[in-house]
């Protein structure tokens, strides 16, 4: 089957959900799918939760995705197997991006002409990889392998994911972090507490940077503003650009603004988080802290990346990573 020759007119892509980090890693897939099928109507289905392609990341997929459906309740309940998803809507091509049995079996109830699915080693997929194929560890490569099946084209792993930053956000980043200082980003948040290095250690790193004449820049997301007072007291000279008056109101914590701020940094330190992926896309050197999650799967895409793992210090808990390890990695990145 050569999908490229068939040119499907309607395409559905199933994901469980998209947080910012996931969405950034999936951008090359989205762009490649649109390039291969410029006239197709592409529907992005978040079956279990929300997708930032419908909110924070919507500007990045304008013209690439035609429709985003969130919380579709596909892949949550075995009773789904008794009816057709999306009230029986039909698609020429359904791309299932995950391997969870319930979601994949539920999607098989969806009428379509062709189906791509890595579930059960592509057993139910209309097109399969060559014999001896091994499913990749990284999310980026997993998505690109599916794209290669869908487009009949090679899609090498990019060394950097390019993102278009609006001029307005670049000007705002220059205002918030003006020329004349060396800034180092610190991103203490993450999608869950187990992925967070202790806040007081980020503060200790901030003080260490300030002693070296560098300006610590804390990048706090919409769920973390209460950390500002504690960090400001602990690191008096630190900056909090996303909490500056009017910034949140104007830009709504846009990932594109955070990437623009990242371009102004000499280096950055972040947990395994969406902000970490944003900073990687900025091109600035990044030190990424990992504990319970796997860097083999979730490492940011960057040529200037240093990974510090809790496993190297005796376990998976983030508090096992010492301050000196983070400071040493930052020192190397800055040099």
- pLDDT at res. 311: 96
- CA 112 to the chain's CA centroid: 29
pLDDT value of residue 334: 96
Asked if residue 319 lies in contact with residue 176, where contact means CB atoms within 8 angstroms, the answer is: no
Residue 162 falls inside a structural domain: no
Q: Is residue 256 part of a domain?
A: yes
pLDDT at 130 over 90: yes
d(CA 139, CA 98): 10
pLDDT value of position 16: 96
**How many folded domains does the chain comprise?**
2
What stretches of the chain show up as alpha helix (H) in DSSP? Answer: 3-6, 20-36, 101-107, 119-122, 139-151, 167-176, 199-211, 227-234, 247-251, 255-262, 274-281, 295-298, 323-334
Res. 3 pLDDT band, cuts 50 70 90: low
Record the tokens describing residue 184, joined without a space: 């180092």
| Residue 1 pLDDT > 60 | no
What pLDDT score was predicted for residue 164? 86
- pLDDT in the model for residue 291: 97
- Please check whether residues 139 and 24 belong to one and the same domain: yes
Percent of the chain with pLDDT over 70: 98
Would you state the pLDDT for residue 2?
A: 57
User: In this structure, how many other beta carbons lie within 10 angstroms of the beta carbon of residue 13?
Assistant: 25
Q: Which domain holds residue 11?
A: 3-151
Average pLDDT over residues 227-247: 97
- Kindly tell me if the per-residue pLDDT of 317 is higher than 90: yes
pLDDT tens-place string over residues 261-280: 999 999 999 999 999 999 99
160 occurs within a structural domain: no
Distance (Å, whole) CA 110 – CA 55: 26
pTM of the model: 0.84
Question: Does the pLDDT of residue 23 top 90, yes or no?
Answer: yes
Q: Based on the domain organization, do 89 and 34 belong to the same domain?
A: yes
> Given pLDDT bands bounded at 50, 70 and 90, which one contains residue 5?
low
Read off the pLDDT of each residue in 102-123 and give the average, rounded to a whole number: 96
Q: What is the CATH number of the domain that holds 266?
A: 3.40.50.2000
Band of pLDDT at residue 7, cut at 50, 70 and 90: confident
Distance, CA of 63 to CA of 122 (rounded, Å) = 30
- 111-120 residue pLDDT tens: 999 999 999 9
| 202 and 327 part of one domain | yes
Tokens 């993450």 belong to: 190
Whether 12 has a pLDDT exceeding 80, the answer reads yes
Regarding whether 192 and 58 lie in a shared domain, the answer is no
Burial class (CB in 10 A: 0-12, 13-18, 19+), 172: buried
pLDDT confidence of residue 163: 87
């Amino acid at each position: 089957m050569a999908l490229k020759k068939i040119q499907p007119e309607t395409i559905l892509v199933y994901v469980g959900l998209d947080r910012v980090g996931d969405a950034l890693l999936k951008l090359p897939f989205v762009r490649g799918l649109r390039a291969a099928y410029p006239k197709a109507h592409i529907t992005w289905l978040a079956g279990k939760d929300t997708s930032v392609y419908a909110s924070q990341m919507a500007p990045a997929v304008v013209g690439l995705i035609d429709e985003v459906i969130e919380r579709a309740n596909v892949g949550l309940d075995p009773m789904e197997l008794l009816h057709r998803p999306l009230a029986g809507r039909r698609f020429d091509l359904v791309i299932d991006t995950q391997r969870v049995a319930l979601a994949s079996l539920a999607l098989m109830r969806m009428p379509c002409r062709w189906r791509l699915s890595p579930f059960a080693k592509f057993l139910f997929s209309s097109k399969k990889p060559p014999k001896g194929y091994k499913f990749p560890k990284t999310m980026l490569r997993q998505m690109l392998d599916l794209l290669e099946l869908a487009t009949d084209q090679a899609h090498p792993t990019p060394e950097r994911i390019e993102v278009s930053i609006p001029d307005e956000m670049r000007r705002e980043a220059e205002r918030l972090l003006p020329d004349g200082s060396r800034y180092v980003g610190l991103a203490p948040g993450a999608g869950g507490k187990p992925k967070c290095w202790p806040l007081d250690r980020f503060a200790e790193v901030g003080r260490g940077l300030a002693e070296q004449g560098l300006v610590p820049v804390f990048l706090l997301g919409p769920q973390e503003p209460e950390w500002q007072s504690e960090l400001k007291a602990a690191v008096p000279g630190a900056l909090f650009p996303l909490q500056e008056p009017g910034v949140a109101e104007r830009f709504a914590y846009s990932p594109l603004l955070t990437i623009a701020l990242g371009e102004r940094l000499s280096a950055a330190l972040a947990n395994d988080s969406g902000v970490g992926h944003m900073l990687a896309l900025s091109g600035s050197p990044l030190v990424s802290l990992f504990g319970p999650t796997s860097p083999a799967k979730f490492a940011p895409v960057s040529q200037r990346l240093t990974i510090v793992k809790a496993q190297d210090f005796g376990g998976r808990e983030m508090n096992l990573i010492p301050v000196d390890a983070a400071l040493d990695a930052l020192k190397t990145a800055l040099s």
